[in-house]
Amino acid sequence: MATIKVNKLSRDDLPWQLEYNTDRCTMCGRCVASCPFNAIEAGVEKRRKITSSDVTPNPKANFLTVPIIKQVVDCTHSCRGCGICEKVCPNTAIKPVRNEDERFAIKYRGALADPYKRGGRSNLNTEGRTLDKIKIGRISQMTDPSLDAQRHTFDMLAPLGRILPPEQIPFEVQGDELKLAKKIPPVRWVYPIILGDMSIGALSWRMWEAIAIATAYLNEEIGLPIRMCTGEGGIPSRLLRSEHLKYMILQIASGHFGWNRIISAMPEMIEDPAAILIKIGQGAKPGDGGLLQSKKVAKHIQEIRGVPKADLLSPPNHQGLYSIEESVQKMFLSFNAAFKFRVPVAIKVAASATSVSVYNNLLRDPYNIVGGFFLDGISGGTGAAHEISLDHTGHPAVSKLRDCYLAAVHQGKQGQIPLWAAGGLGMTGNLAADAFKMYSLGANGVFTGKLILQLAGCVGNDSGKCNACNTGLCPVGICTQNPVLVKRLDIDKVAENIVNYFLAVNHEFKKLMAPIGNSSLPVGRSDALVSVDKSVADRLKIQYAC
């Protein structure tokens, strides 16, 4: 009943509270009808006023019972702050408001003995972003001609595949012609941003298809040779058999979900995929495997992945791999062989204190079958993880990328195994700036996921708003398999927004390349950067400026 006791969860414990104006509310019910979390409900509220209007005391009791919308106070139905109620309210009568004095982390664990899980990114951004402390500070003025972003022709391509140094390219003269004596490793020159790396399952089928459409559109209608990584959650057969497969980087992670379909579709493939990406780890939850909670394992996901409805946990490791050497042998060799050595094979690891050792080892690969090193930092996103992993495990990408690049430089092997970096790039909205700085620090390319979701209409952020990707109840149909919710997502609009964003990014790249006078990507051109933070400057070996 209406009693409140000390240990009962109460409204002031919750991270989000509803600000509700009963005078403006018409009880149209749209907010309640739209909230997938059951965090609000209709109810009635009692009003009671005892008044006296005579010249002598003469109490009159006036009772009123009023229908209202109210917040559900419950650990499992707490308001996520997604703000859909506010969006649909015709009268601006309701909205979630952040409660600074919340105690939810304590109350939830205390009540349910459950390590809290959620989606999104690290919500503890205590340090500020390194990339924001770096400026492109070396401008061509009088020293050398800066370029005109509008007019100049820029070469914005990044390699995906093993690059041989000139002396190792097996040229030979045959008659009057210079020819290759034997096959060299496959290399794709692609746009320096790869999209996605998010699985079907984590994403709704509409969201996933929208990224695929945007990718194909950018290639075919705009001419940006951008690639999409599939994530590991199976790939639709129709896509495997289509000409658009050439834009797809197929991922294999520790769960190996969906690979039976990929393999059995091989005889019918009319195009090779762009590349294979072996996922060893993920920046958002390093040391942890994939996690797809059963609420998202709908019928079509069960089918594509070949599993029953259950929480799907991928192992933290590729089972059967016990050393770097073994992973090179088993994974790289097998996936090179899978497409007869025509398709580059790269590896993705979570940035870690050990990343340089791994990269150094790979650089010694004598078989030339390592086609890329993808480094994913702590600020990457995920569909579902333990909050403790999201907030407290991982390694920032920036210095680690720099370390790897300089390690390659030390060996004189920079550029041979392309470096691709990720982890929160574009999280403040400007991917071009973040990517450009990463290139200058040594990345050949970058990859981005959560930004794509933001483009699609994700209402969450990195300070606890929504973050309900794991619940299967994504209010905007992005991270759910529920048709009622997925149908909210406009696949064409999503694709259009992604396309438009990359048109803008493409232009913004030029606005950065022109002033430093680079016609091609400034990979490793760290002289272009300055940092206003001495420690960042020292750590990254770039100029300090103040």
Partner 1 sequence: MPESTRALIDGVINGKRISTQELLQKIYKKLEEGYTEFEINASGQHNIGGSLWTQDGKPLKFYVKNPGQRVGSMGLEGTQIVIEGSSSADVGWLNAGAEIILKGDGGDTTAHCAANGKIYVAGRAGTRSGALMKHDPKFAAPEFWVLKNTGSFSFEFMGGGIAVICGYDCENLDSVLGYRSCIGMVGGTVYVRGSVKNLSDEVWLMDLDEKDLNFLKNGMTQFLNKIDKAEIYDKLTNFSDWKKIVAKTYEERNRRSFKPIIDYRQNKWVEGGIFGDIIEEDYFVANFYETSDLRLKFPEWRNAAYSAPCEYSCPISIPTQKRISLLRQGKIQEALNLVLDFSPFPGSVCGQVCPNLCVEECSRKYIDDPVKVKDVGLLSKSLDVKMPEKELDKKVAIIGSGSAGLSAAWHLRRQGYQVDILEEDNIIGGKLKQVIPTERLNPEILDTELNRIKSIGVNCKTSAKVDKDMFKQLQNYYDAVVVAVGAQNPVVIPFEGHERLVKGLDFLKAVNKGEKPSVGEKVVVIGAGNAAMDVVIGAYEMGAKEVTSIDIQKPAAFDKEIEHAKKLGAKILWPRYTEKVTEKGVYLKDGTLLEADTVIISIGDRPDFSFLADEYLDERGRVKVNDYNQSEVNEKVFIPGDAIKPGLFTHAIGDGRKVAINIDRMLSGKELDNFERAPVLPADRVKNEFYHPMNSNNILGMDAVDETKRCMSCGFCRDCYFCLEACPEQAITRNENKDGTFEYISNPHKCIGCGICAGVCPCGVWAMLDNVEKYLEA
Scanning residues 88 to 117, which ones bind partner 1 (CB under 8 A)?
88
- 311 touches partner 1 by CB under 8 A: no
Under rule CB under 8 A, residue 43 binds partner 1: yes
x/- map, 266-305, partner 1, by CB under 8 A: -----------------------------xxxxxx-xxx-
Q: Decide: is 239 part of the binding site for partner 1 (CB under 8 A).
A: yes
Q: Which CB, 410 or 493, lies closer to partner 1? A: 493
Q: State which of positions 446-475 bind partner 1 (CB under 8 A).
A: 472-473, 475
For residues 131 and 516, give the distance between their C-alpha atoms in angstroms, rounded to a whole number.
18
Task: Examine residue 308 and tell whether it contacts partner 1 (CB under 8 A).
Answer: yes
Distances (CA, A) of 289 to 255, 259, 279: 8, 17, 10
Pick from 121, 113, 107, 95: which is nearest to 19 by CA? 95
| 160 is an interface residue for partner 1 by CB under 8 A | no
Least Cβ distance, residue 163 to partner 1 (angstroms): 30
Please give the residues from 50 up to 69 whose contact with partner 1 meets the rule CB under 8 A: 61, 63, 65, 67
- Residue 447 to residue 241: CA distance in whole angstroms: 25
H/E stretch holding 209 reads helix 205-217
Element (H, E) at 42: strand 40-52
Nearest to partner 1 of 310, 337 (CB atom): 310
Say whether residue 26 binds partner 1 (CB under 8 A): yes
The site string for partner 1 over 318-357 (x = CB under 8 A, - otherwise) reads ----------------------------------------
Measured from the CB atom, is 245 or 370 closer to partner 1?
245
Asked if 2 is part of the footprint of partner 1 (rule: CB under 8 A), the reply reads yes
Nearest distance in Å: CB 489, partner 1: 7
**Does 84 sit near partner 1 (CB under 8 A)?**
yes
Give the count of beta carbons closer than 10 Å to the beta carbon of residue 484: 10
Nearer to partner 1 (CB atom), residue 286 or residue 475: 475
Q: Does 529 interact with partner 1 (rule: CB under 8 A)?
A: no
d(CA 64, CA 403): 69
In terms of CB distance, is 87 or 133 closer to partner 1?
A: 87
Query: Alpha carbon of 286 to those of 200, 289, 319, 389, 392: distances in Å?
Result: 20, 8, 16, 8, 10
Q: Which of 24, 60, 98, 309 binds partner 1 (CB under 8 A)?
A: 309
C-beta closer to partner 1: residue 127 or 221: 221
In the three-class reduction of DSSP (H, G, I as helix; E, B as strand; rest coil), residue 298 is classed as: coil
Alpha-carbon distance values, 402 to 19, 160, 161, 163, 203 (Å): 46, 19, 20, 19, 31
Quote the least distance from Cβ 304 to partner 1, whole Å. 7
Rounded distance, CA 461 to CA 119, Å? 10
Rounded to 10 degrees, what is the CA torsion of 309, 310, 311, 314?
-90
Element (H, E) at 290: none
Segment near partner 1 (CB under 8 A), from 11-19, 119-127, 170-178, 494-502? Answer: 494-502
Both tokens assigned to 127:
């340090």
Tell me the residue type at 251.
Answer: Q
